[in-house]
Each structure stands twice: as structure tokens, then as C-alpha cells.
Chains A and B, each alone.
Chain A
Amino acid sequence: GAGVSQSPSNKVTEKGKDVELRCDPISGHTALYWYRQSLGQGLEFLIYFQGNSAPDKSGLPSDRFSAERTGGSVSTLTIQRTQQEDSAVYLCASSLSGEKLFFGSGTQLSVL
């Protein structure tokens, strides 16, 4: 596709439910990143995939968060047993060189 695609664009869920967020990176981009932006905050790094290397998970806030990248392309970020503090915009980005990141429009997650 022309850009990074994320779905859904909005997700409202109840506390305690699991959610899956999807990211389709730009074709050919080997690096994929997940960030989140809580209200009034900056972009918080979550996880980074580069080719077939082990992902950098150093930003995941708890073991309720996990991410996969299948076939070096599509990625899914899963949040189990969601909490209200998980409410944020979840942004996915992909990159060819690791220098310029191209972001999707994000998924607005609201946990009630």
C-alpha cells in the first residue's frame, strides 16, 4: 500500500477485555515500530521489529502487552485484560533504513 495502515481506527472496550490492534507496514520496509501516545504525553516507545532479528521489547509496559510480526510484514499488538490506563493512541511506524519512520494514523483505544 501507499502508506502504513492501522486498524481499527477507533476501539472502545471494557476493562478486563483483550484487544488486538493491527498494522500493515509499507511494502518492503524491514523495520516496524509500535509507539503509544497517552493524552497530553509524548510518543512512548513500545516494541521494535527489524527483519528476522529478535524484537526489542524494552518499551512494553507490562506482560499484558505482546506483539507479533508475521512473515516480516503485518504486525499485531495484543493487550490482555485491558486497564483504563491503557487508553491511548497506538501508533505503528515502518522504516526502510531505520532513520525516517513513516507512521500510520493510529488506533484510538478507549478502555471504559
Chain B
Amino acid sequence: DQQVKQNSPSLSVQEGRISILNCDYTNSMFDYFLWYKKYPAEGPTFLISISSIKDKNEDGRFTVFLNKSAKHLSLHIVPSQPGDSAVYFCAARGGYGNKLVFGAGTILRVKS
């Protein structure tokens, strides 16, 4: 039962353009959402988060949008840089317990 889905396994973007990574969830009890970035041979690192009471959160080049009615969130990276090339995981928390439920990840490649 995949409660958090990242339907695009990979995304390729030209340097300087916008990267949009998408995530869908099914559990309406989720109230907090996060994006993590992972480089090879390293653990995931926190990128940005959003509470369910908001629909947008911005931090520098990174913006997360939340559409609760559609149970959809997205991460926008503008402008994309080659160093952004990594695996991006969407995660959600809420309902029973405090554990984060992760999506399968999207590999982002930013071409220079």
C-alpha cells in the first residue's frame, strides 16, 4: 500500500531551467510534508517542508506547493544547477505514530 507516490522515476532538465518534481499521497491524515535530497553513498538530507495549513513554502531556489484537495505536492527548483542532480524523496507524516512515509524517489539530472 503505497501511501506516498512519486510517479516519475527520473527527470532531466537543462541548467538554468525549472525542475518540477511531483508527489501524490493517499492518506488524508498526513499533516506535514518534506522533501529530502540524496547523493550516492550518502544519507538523505532535509531540503524543505510544508505544513498542511499552508499551500506554499519557499526557501531560496526551492519552493514546495501543496494542494490538499488533490492530495498533491510539488517541488520547484529555479534555476536548476548541475549540483542539484540527485535523488529527491517526498515524505509525509501524520495519522498514527510519528514516522515519515517516503515515496520511491525521483532521479533529477541537471545538464550543463
Contacts and interface: CB of A to CB of B under 8 A. Distances in A.
Interface of A: 4, 31, 33, 35, 41-45, 48, 50, 56, 58-59, 91, 93, 98-106
Given A42-B6, A103-B43, 19 more contacts: A33-B99, A33-B100, A41-B104, A42-B89, A42-B102, A42-B104, A43-B89, A43-B91, A43-B102, A43-B105, A45-B102, A48-B98, A48-B99, A56-B97, A56-B99, A91-B44, A98-B98, A100-B49, A101-B100
Contacts of A103: 36, 43-45
B101 interface: yes
Instruction: Report, as a range, how many residues of chain B touch the other chain.
Output: 20 to 34
A45 B101 CA distance: 7
A83 to B, nearest CB: 22
Interface of B: 6, 32, 34, 36, 41-46, 49, 89, 91, 93, 97-105
Nearest to A105: B43
Given A42-B103, A48-B97, A102 B46 contact: yes
A104 B41 CA distance: 10
Given A31-B98, A33-B99, A35-B102, A43 B44 contact: yes
Contact of A93 (B6, B41, B43, B49): B43
A107 B87 CA distance: 18
Given A42-B89, A45-B99, A56-B99, A100 B105 contact: no
A105 B42 contact: yes
A101 B49 CA distance: 11
A44 B49 CA distance: 20
Contacts of A41: 104
B21 to A, nearest CB: 14
B45 A99 contact: no
Contacts of A106: 43
B104 A104 contact: no
A105 B41 contact: yes
A4 B43 CA distance: 10
Contacts of A4: 43
